[in-house]
Structures are given as C-alpha cells and as structure tokens.
Chains A and B, each alone.
Chain A
Amino acid sequence: MDIARLTTMANQIARNLAAQGDEAAIAATAQHIRDFWDPRMKAAIIASDRTTLEPIARAAVERLKS
C-alpha cells in the first residue's frame, strides 16, 4: 500500500478528532483505524517508520500493535 497515502489518512483522522483532547483522540483514532481499515492497510501503517505521522496519529498507530 502507498504509505504516504495511509499516513495522510491517519493524520487527517487524528486532526479531526484532536478537539476531544489528546488521550480521547488517540483512543478514537486507533479505534477508527481498527473499524474501517483493511488488514493490509493496518499492517502497512504499523510497519512504517511513522516519522511523518503527527503525534496523535503516531500514538494511535502504536496502540494498534497491541
């Protein structure tokens, strides 16, 4: 999968949930990805170096690993 595209998507989700506050936004972003992303997309974002993920998105992707 195009990791740049997935990164953009994850950052966009996080930005739109950020108003909930960091902790809630991280949890909501992780749950959104769990609920709506195909396994290969999840695997790709988890496997990426995540350097271009914004903080909330990066923390959310970190949670996806567990």
Chain B
Amino acid sequence: MAYEPQADFGTPEVLSETSVTLTIDGRAVTVPAGTSVMRAAAVSGGSIPKLCATDNVAAFGSCRMCLVEVDGMRGTPASCTTPAAEGMVVRTQTPRLEKLRRGVMELYISDHPLDCLTCSANNDCELQDTAAQVGLRDVCFGYDGANHLAMPVDSSNPYFDFDPSKCIACSRCVRACDEVQGTLALTIDGRGFASKVSAGQASDDFLSSECVSCGACVQACPTATLQEKAVKEIGKPERAVITTCAYCGVGCTFRAEMRGQQLVRMVPWKDGKANHGHSCVKGRFAWGYAQHKDRITRPMIRETIDQPWREVSWDEALSFTAGRLNAIKVQYGARALGGITSSRCTNEETFLVQKLVRAGFGSNNVDTCARVCHSPTGYGLKTTFGTSAGTQDFDSVMDADVILVIGANPTDAHPVFASRMKRRLRQGAKLIVIDPRRIDLVRSPHIEAAHHLALQPGTNVAVLTAMAYVIVTEGLADEVFIGERCDADEYADWARFVADPRHSPEVLEVVTRVPAADLRAAARLYATGGNAAIYYGLGVTEHSQGSSTVMAIANLAMATGNIGRRGVGVNPLRGQNNVQGACDMGSFPHELSGYRHISDTATRSLFEQDWGVTLDAEPGLRIPNMLDAALDGSFRALYVQGEDILQSDPNTHHVAAGLKAMELVIVHDLFLNETANYAHVFLPGSTFLEKDGTFTNAERRIQLVRKVMEPANGYADWEVTQELAKAMGLGWNYTHPREIMDEVARLTPSFAGVSFERLEQQGSLQWPVNEAHPDGSPIMHVDGFVRGKGRFVVTDYVPTDEKTGPRYPLLLTTGRILSQYNVGAQTRRTENTVWHEEDLLEIHPTDAENRGLNDGDWVRLASRTGETTLRAHVTDRVAPGVVYTTFHHPATQANVVTTEFSDWATNCPEYKVTAVQVMASNGPTDWQESYASWSEKSRRIAVEPAE
C-alpha cells in the first residue's frame, strides 16, 4: 500500500457495554460510553487538531490545541479529556476556536526551527500538519525571544536521535515510556520554560539511561525530536507492508516502511493483535543483519570440511547435494539421513523440510530447535490437557489477579508481552516470581513481586510439589472444577501423593532453599487470589525434569480451577518466532503435523495417500540421538535449515564430533554460522523480509509474513527446499506458500480452517481453527479439555545427576539478554552490540571475593565437559553459589561448558544446571584458540582465477 501514517484516533479505545450518541459538527455519532469527544470526532471522520494526544496513551490535556465548544458547557474544553455524553452537541470549528488554536500554535512555532524543507520529518510531521490545519500564517511573537533552538542533539542511541531543539514538551514520549513500555526512563525535567525531556539524571544521555530502546517514544513523537536515524539518512518511506517479526515468540506485527527495495523503518502495527502497536529494540530496530556484508548469497560446496568453499551455481549445488543424499541412502539406508527444521522459518518452509525428510529421505529423522527449548512443553501439556500449546491469548493477562512467573524473564526475552504484564501489575495484580535470579520483574518502577522464591537451580518440581502440598492439605483445591473437568481417580492419586508430609515446604526447604513460610504464602496467594495465571519459560523446560515441571504446573492450574477462562491458564513463553509453528508442522521425529503420532496407522495413511509414498511407522532420531548415531556410523547426512546447532546445543565438543563424523552436512542459512564450519554444502537462505508465509506465535496465533523485498540469494527458503526435493526426484510443484498451507489444512484437523485468504481477511487466527471453532480459539479448554478429562500426573522430585562438589562447587545457569537473540547470528550483526558486545559471567560478590575476582576480570569457567573464558560481572542478582551467563557469542561458546544431561522425557538439555568452577584467567582457553583458528580456516572461500 502507498505510504500513509497509521490512523490516530487521539485517545485510546474504550470498551463498554453501553453506548452514547452525540452530535459533532452536525453529524450524529454513536460511541462506547467513556469515549472522548476527540475520538468520537475521529470515528465520525472528523479531525480535531491535536499535539499532545495520541491513541496509545491516556489523554493528557496539555497542548490546548483540541479545544471544542459544547452546548451547555462553559468555556472551550479540551476534547481529549472530555468524555462524550448522550445528547451532547459539539462544534469543533468556530471563529473563537480558530483564534485560540492559532494563538497556541504561534507560541509553539516561535520556539521551533523553521527548517521544514530540510527537516527529516518534512511531510510526516504532526506539528507541520497541525500548523496547516489551524491556518498559521504568521507568528506575532517573532523568533528573537528566548528559545531552545541551540540545544545539542543527543545521538548516543544507535538507532534514533533526540533533538531537543524541535521538542514541544508535549510529554507523549514520557507517557509512552510510562504507559506503553512501562520502563519509566523518561521524564520532563524542570518547570515552565525550562521544561525539557530528560532520560533520567541530568548527566544521562539516552544510551546511558534506563531506556530500553523499544521505540515507543519515537513512535509517539509528533515532531522530528525523536526520530530514527534511518529516516534521516534515507528519507520518508513511500510504501508500507504489514508483516510479522522474526525474533521472539510474541509475534509482533509491523509495518515495514519502504523506499523502493530499501527498508527505511519497522513501525509496530497498531492493529497487531499480539503487540497492539508496541515493539522492542530487536523487532523495531535490529533488522540490519538482512543486508549485512557477512551474508552469503551464492551456493557453495566442498568435498571435505578442511577445503575452502567453492561458489557454484544453484544447479550444481543442488545436483551435488541430491547426488550425495541419494548415494548415502542407497549405501546406508534411509535411516542414515535426517534434517532439522528451523523455528525462524515459516510454517510452510518447516512443513516442507519435514516432508522432504519423511517422503524424500524416507526416514522420520527430523527434529527442530524446540528439542533444546520447549519440547517438554509439548510433552507435558499434551499429557495433561491433550494439546501441546499454551492455553491463553496474551490479552488474557489483563484479567489476571495473580501472575506467577516461573523460569522466565519476560522483560528480556519477551519484552512486548512483558510490557502488557507490567501494565496489569501496575493496575494491582499480584506477582509471584520463582527464579534463582532476581530478574527485573522482582522489583522495578511501580512493580514489586509479592513473593520471590529464589530456589536452588534444579528444584522446580520440589517447589511446585510443595505448593501443591499446601493447596491440598489446607483445603484450597477447587473441588467443583476438579469434579466436573478432571479424572477423579487420577486426582485422588495425585492429591494423596502431594499430601505426603515429605512434600511439605518445611521438609523440602533443605532441598529448594526456599523459606517454607514464603512458599506457603505464595501457594495460598496463587490458590485464593482470584484469577491466577502461570507464565513460564526455559527455566522450567531446560532441566532434567523439564517435562515433569510442565506437568506439575498443569496440575496446579487444574487443582485450583485456573483453566478455561480469561485471566488464568498455563502459558509457555516460546522462545523463537515460529517455534510453536515448527512444532505444529510435524517437526518432531515421532509426530506428524498436529501432534499425531507417526505410529498411528490412520494418520499415517492420510499422509501416505496425499504424498503418494509409504512412510516409516517408527519414530526417528532426536538431534542428540542423531549426533550419537553419527559417531557410531549409522547416521551419515544432515540437512539443517536456519539453525546453528554447534553454538546452540549442549556440549559443543560432542556436537562438533558428531558433525565431523557425517559424510554430508548441508547448511541452509543466511550466514556461514558455526555449524557451517563442519558443512559440505552451503545453501544461502532468505530473511523474513524476502518471503511470503506464516509464523505462529506463543498464543497459537497464525499470522502472515509478507515479502517486502526480493531475496538477495534469489530464492525464498521454501523454494530452495523444493528445488532440492526435485533434484532428488520428488515431483513437487508449489507455486506459492499458500498452496503449502492448503496442504497443511487438508492434512491437519487443528488447521482445517486456515488459509491465506482467511488470514488476509481476519488478520490472524489462533488454532484450532476447524468446524467446532471456525474463527479460532483465543482461550483453550473452555468447556472441557482437548483430551476429555484433565489428567493429573504424579511428578516426583528426582534430583539431577549433575552434582556440585569440591572441584565444581558452583551451579551455572544460562539465558538471554534483551538486546540479543539466541546464538546472536542476527543481533550480533546489528548495532545491538552496543548493549552487549560479549557474554559476561554474573557472579555473586561473596563468590567473587572468595576467588579474588573483581568486576570486569577475565575468568575461566570450567565444568566436567569443557571450559571457556569470559569477563566477570559481580552482582547480587544471582544468589551465592549460582553463576549465570548468556550464549550469544561464538567467541565464548557457553555450550562448551554445558553437559548432555537432559529432560527424561524429551532429551531437552539441562542448560540451567551445570556444576562449574570459576577462577581468574589471563587469556582464552586452548579450545577457544584452536576453535578460532579452525573457524577461520573453515570459512575460506576459494577465489576464482581471473580469466
């Protein structure tokens, strides 16, 4: 569509069961009760001049530009703060109003640069538009008085500038930071003429302040005061395309605002149902990787991994790859081949990769990154509720009275949802945090957790069982809900189990290190505090008891009746943008799309008839099993689309050995990632900006991804997979991803009603979308569980085999940071490195002092598996005995240290518990040095001789 700013109704939408009808400039308008006159006018097609009002923050009433006349009311009230009333008669344009507005505008312009033609906001400036609206022709005050025109520009933020000379002190940025983002980093400093927007203390610039660079202030600014550097450099966009973010599982929708093939900026889309017009620093700004110089756009092959890469044509690359795959299949059998789908690629691309493995390779050796993140969610929620996904939409949190966050750090990993959660907390909802670290949510502006249970890593099940003990033994269970909705015998078994005195908080305190009184209080609050919702992340799943913890969470929700309505539920915060979709599409080795077991004859027959092949009825290998099988010679070839298992998976040495043992490793990616160091074929990938398709977010919301520019490599990823399938002899002929989604819908009951056409019409759909739920399912298990009766599962606490001891006395837990994403392949290639240029090791002051370590020191982090070096950050965010780091940088490779202990049910790695020692260091480890050398050698690309 041609470029138009997003519609701005001036004040937020009001939801009300009653409506009022008023007359504005002679037109009758009916709006929900409580709607402002300004919004009512906008709804009716009018436009009252405004400067301090915008529809994503509450009305402020300061600029005096939106004055109106109302019959029966004295003076000229501000339309933004005046609620519409039944029978009200409003005039928005009269000689008196014209004179008042023009006078106000003259004051504004008397202290504003008159550089419109060279201003970066020219023709995209609300101040300029409003000056035109009010007919400003002269400024009677002149321009020689005291002014702010010489104030310096703050260019410290890598993505936007703050030019106070253009500020009109409307407070929209301050209010956006408060109300939309919830960080409260900005303020209006001073009074009267001295008023100015300030990022915290006087000494702070934007970069050094608490600003999290979400962009809400930039979006709210009506002038060029806060503006993207890209707009200054490139100019005003000429068209906009709605698409879906390719970072975390929140699934924000954006307007990709373009000039030609050049992306100017990503602006959060107000109608996006996951983000409602908000964004984070990654989705809003960190898209520069798409055009980064490191990007590989030509296919490459090599015979052995110690050779340099050789650039070849697509035909040669595909022929080479298919020939090798077919030869390995003939020699070693179909089960020697496998693939890994990408949670960063679209549903359609993921579906094709698993189809290629099952129908083309002839095995079920397909897996996905959920193996190392939320596979326990799939197992646990399917076992207890009957389906492998969260129960709520994100908006549900606004109806929660108690929010329990366990093993998740939403402000860093799911920041846009965290902003909404924080809004609910500021409204008064109570917060329980169960986490070894003092995450930001525990205490931040206007938010304080009622309970922070800082448990010993690895004891989630013990904590949740102790909470269940309190609920059952104190008679806090919802017997009516349980009686109607759950299996009675299984509940009785579970209740008897958890009520055993060995599960009391007092007995388990020695294991969990959570004071029994705190745990009892938290359990009582969860059970009796009204609508209680649980949100969890990888701190739940990435344990040896990840699946047990998910089931223990489900048990608690069922026991207290907190399932099946708004404000409650069990909500996994999924990590990658399409990890939910990748799982839905049949990426696990034991399941076809829609979570149906491969051994089910009826399901398998459906696919066999549609695809015209016979499928293997046995489950395939999971990623860690593939690596094991490679070492024994029974697994020989791997196709990896959009994942970097060498950096992301545990025990890097083992991953490297497995990859090295394979005859053929095909990496299909944007960059020569770490896994590509062991690859024989590199197929260049495309970014989310270069393809059509769909992503499914953590609330099961399927949203369209739209191509905004041509792929730099020439093909979308689904096309590359299709060409590889053709080269192997498969007769695929998809001409657009919508045809792939039609196939998914044809074969998958929960997607039966999904099509690109419906997604275009509806904006998004939350599965299941079928005959019973034609418009999708924002809340699941409303009238009954998908499996019928909810199943209580006994979850005994089984301590991990990973033990601390004299050699490795500390526990390492790993995670991510706001500015970086997963292995950092994308975010490290953006200006986000300003905030996190290296992985750091958080260590408690006591542990640091015992080792003679100071903040910023180089330290050696060693486990039974391996060792690496990084800098220490001494902080009491972590408890004594616990250290924490991120895994964003290959120079550190935190997974050299993590072990292969994993979840008992799914083999999800136990990233959150590794016994380690930390000591002073004076340089990189031998491994780091040898890997850096190997990596440099492996990335060589042969230079073709000049003709």
Contacts and interface: CB of A to CB of B under 8 A. Distances in A.
B625 A12 contact: no
B159 interface: no
Contacts of A13: 904-905
B620 interface: yes
B365 A38 contact: yes
B589 interface: yes
Interface string B618-632: 111110010011011
B647 interface: no
B590 A35 contact: yes
A16 B589 contact: no
A46 interface: no
Contacts of B907: 9
Interface string A9-22: 10011011011100
Given A1-B629, A5-B628, A35 B619 contact: yes
B621 A38 contact: yes
A3 B310 CA distance: 39
Nearest to B597: A35
B625 A16 contact: no
> At the interface, is chain B mostly helix, strand, loop or mixed?
loop
A40 interface: yes
B132 interface: no
A40 B629 contact: yes
A49 to B, nearest CB: 18
B545 A16 contact: yes
Nearest to B635: A40
Interface in B577-604: 589-590, 597, 599
B587 to A, nearest CB: 15
Contacts of A12: 544, 798, 801, 904
Contact of A38 (B589, B794, B905): B589
A37 B335 CA distance: 13
B243 to A, nearest CB: 36
A16 B796 contact: yes
Contacts of B597: 35
Interface string B794-809: 1110100100000000
B634 A1 contact: yes
A52 B17 CA distance: 67
Contacts of A37: 619
A38 B598 CA distance: 12
Interface string A22-48: 000000000010011111110000000
B832 interface: no
Interface in B247-276: none
B632 A1 contact: yes
A37 B632 CA distance: 16
A18 B798 CA distance: 10
A16 B904 contact: yes
Nearest to A42: B618
A38 B336 CA distance: 12
Interface residues of A, number: 20
A37 B629 CA distance: 12
Given A18-B796, A38-B335, A38-B619, A2 B631 contact: yes
B69 to A, nearest CB: 72
Given A1-B628, A38-B365, A32 B794 contact: no
Contacts of B335: 38-40
Given A1-B632, A1-B634, A13-B905, A38 B618 contact: yes
Contact of A16 (B590, B632, B798, B801): B798
A14 to B, nearest CB: 9
Q: Which interface residue of B544, B619, B795, B801 has the most chain A CB atoms within 10 A?
A: B619
Nearest to A35: B590
Nearest to B632: A1
B497 interface: yes
Nearest to A19: B796
Nearest to A33: B619
Contacts of A15: 798, 904
Nearest to A41: B625
A46 B590 CA distance: 20
B796 A40 contact: no
Contacts of B631: 2
A38 B589 CA distance: 9
Contact of A39 (B618, B632, B794): B618
A32 B619 CA distance: 11
Contacts of A40: 335, 629, 634
Interface string A50-66: 00000000000000000
A9 B590 CA distance: 17
Nearest to B907: A9
A19 B621 CA distance: 28
A43 to B, nearest CB: 10
B800 to A, nearest CB: 10
Contacts of B625: 1, 38, 41
Interface in B534-549: 544-545, 548
Interface string B881-913: 000000000000000000010001111000000
Contacts of A20: 794
A22 B73 CA distance: 80
Interface string B600-621: 0000000000000000001111
A13 B845 CA distance: 38
Contacts of B620: 38
Interface string B322-350: 00000000000001000000000000000
Nearest to A8: B801
Contacts of B545: 16
Contacts of B365: 38
A26 to B, nearest CB: 15
Contacts of B619: 35-38
B15 to A, nearest CB: 46
A15 B796 CA distance: 9
Contacts of A36: 590, 619, 622, 905-906
A5 B651 CA distance: 14
Nearest to A37: B619
A9 B628 CA distance: 13
A52 B310 CA distance: 49
A36 B378 CA distance: 13
B589 A2 contact: no
A16 B794 contact: no
A1 B619 CA distance: 16
A16 B544 CA distance: 10
Given A19-B796, A36-B622, A40-B335, 16 more contacts: A1-B625, A2-B632, A8-B801, A9-B904, A12-B904, A15-B798, A15-B904, A16-B796, A16-B798, A16-B904, A20-B794, A36-B619, A38-B335, A38-B589, A38-B625, A41-B625
27 contacts: A1-B628, A1-B632, A1-B634, A2-B632, A5-B628, A5-B900, A9-B904, A9-B907, A12-B544, A13-B904, A13-B905, A16-B548, A18-B796, A19-B794, A19-B796, A32-B905, A35-B597, A36-B622, A36-B905, A37-B619, A38-B335, A38-B364, A38-B619, A39-B335, A39-B618, A40-B634, A41-B625
Interface of A: 1-2, 5, 8-9, 12-13, 15-16, 18-20, 32, 35-41
Closest 3 CB pairs of A and B: A19-B796, A12-B904, A16-B904
